[in-house]
Structure 1
Amino acid sequence: MAIFGYGRVSTKEQTTENQRREIKAAGYTIDFWHADEGVAGKVSAVRRPQFVKMLSQIRDGETLVVTKLDRLGRDAQDVGATIKALATRRIEVIVLQLGKLDLTSAAGKLMLTMLAAVAEMERDLLVERIQSGLTRAKAEGKTLGRPALTTDEQRAKMIARFKAGESISALSRDYDVSRASVMRIVKPIPAVQ
């Protein structure tokens, strides 16, 4: 049975050669190497060209080796879905970062579940810290969000000109803002009660 290696780096300036060497140094003879270079981690595994190509070549019962868990997906949910899809094909998934642990085995699934729980907790804590910071900033009277592209006076003139029959496109050109910005000013969406 063949051993597939997979690597990924976020920018074109980086190379996956270190990942390939690390897999070989761990004692694996790579029969087929696939690498996505210049593909950000936020891109899900099934949207990475070389990962998709590898999935079409790897046969049921073969082995996939990666250096780190984040090479398999953008977040815990993506990694979990990827591992589950590989497990249905009885493809052994080895992540060097976790030691000699097949993530498709019972112990591997437990480890993956625990890692996913920790990752989810970290995301939740980050959201809490952001919300706390926003609340404090509002309490201090700070204005949040992007600065307005137009002044109150300009918005009033835009509305008057629109009511007088000027087009959205003309207003967009005159005030150097997008058509969508003009639309939000002259045709505001009524608040739902």
Structure 2
Amino acid sequence: MRVAIYARVSTDRNQTVENQLRDLTQVAQHLGWTIVEVFRDEGISGAKGRDQRPGFDRLLKGVARREFDLIAAWSVDRLGRSLQDLVAFLGEINARGVGLYLHQQGLDTTTPAGRAMFQMLGIFSEFERAMIQDRIRAGLNRARAEGRRLGRPKTSDAIIARIRRELDAGHGIHKTAKLVGCGVGTVQKVKKEIAATPLT
């Protein structure tokens, strides 16, 4: 089995990833895994996003390319601090058919018990998404009941007239948007309306 190891420590002071790597390497040797890549982030908080964790970013790119079958990490908090980010990570590797081994938690998705735990995490993920959608719908319904207008505000007739003048003067979409002080999408919409209007 091709295994990628991921190790991370939050601070440079008196901490290194070597202890994590030693434990995970011993597990790999004991189970007959082949370590194909080691990714590390040193002195970087788990609360940081993927763009600020180069090792984690390269790990996820390897997942997308299916360069390994299993990710081994010392503990779940080495992967991230946010439950939402962890659930997203689990969903991403699961979709690619990549397993996960967490040394401290004793989780190994290559075993029946580990797969069951993995599926349970997926259920919690679906539940969380459903709860978010319910809250959004409730908020929209409340706003409608209070008579609040939803969606983007309507473009005023004065702005539309200015857009038409600039387009008639031969200016392009981006130039017109800049001159009028509106979005490119608004100019495109007006231009489409002009094109759809029959000539008299």
Q: 1:53 to 1:3 in 2, by over 3 A?
A: closer
User: Which runs of at least 4 in structure 1 moved beyond 6 Å after TM superposition?
Assistant: 16-19
Q: 1:70 to 1:160 in 2, by over 3 A?
A: farther
Whole-Å Cα distance in 1 between the matches of residues 78 and 151 of structure 2?
32
Q: 1:22 to 1:184 in 2, by over 3 A?
A: farther
Q: 1:183 to 1:143 in 2, by over 3 A?
A: same
* Residue aligned with 2:114, SS: helix
Alignment match, 1:85: 98
The aligned runs of 1:9-28 (5 Å cut-off) are: 20=17, 23=20, 28=23
* Percentage of identical aligned residues: 23
Alignment match, 1:136: 142
Deviation at 1:132, TM superposition (A): 1.0
Deviation at 1:80, TM superposition (A): 1.3
Whole-Å Cα distance in 1 between the matches of residues 5 and 60 of structure 2?
10
Q: Which runs of 5+ in 1 are unaligned?
A: 87-92
TM-score (norm 2): 0.58
Whole-Å Cα distance in 2 between the matches of residues 15 and 113 of structure 1?
33
Whole-Å Cα distance in 2 between the matches of residues 52 and 143 of structure 1?
42
The answer to whether residue 49 in structure 2 is matched with residue 49 in structure 1 is no
Q: 1:79 to 1:2 in 2, by over 3 A?
A: closer
Q: 1:73 to 1:119 in 2, by over 3 A?
A: closer
TM-score (norm 1): 0.60
Give the letter aligned to residue 40 of structure 1. Answer: G
Q: Which runs of 5+ in 2 are unaligned?
A: 27-36, 80-85
Number of residues of Structure 1 aligned to a counterpart in Structure 2 = 167
* Residue aligned with 2:73, SS: strand
2:39/2:58 contact within 8 Å kept: no
1:3/1:63 contact within 8 Å kept: yes
Partner of residue 184 from structure 1, selected from 176, 189, 198: 189
Q: 1:19 to 1:107 in 2, by over 3 A?
A: farther
Q: 1:64 to 1:2 in 2, by over 3 A?
A: same
Whole-Å Cα distance in 2 between the matches of residues 48 and 22 of structure 1?
22
1:7/1:35 contact within 8 Å kept: yes
The answer to whether residue 133 in structure 2 is matched with residue 127 in structure 1 is yes
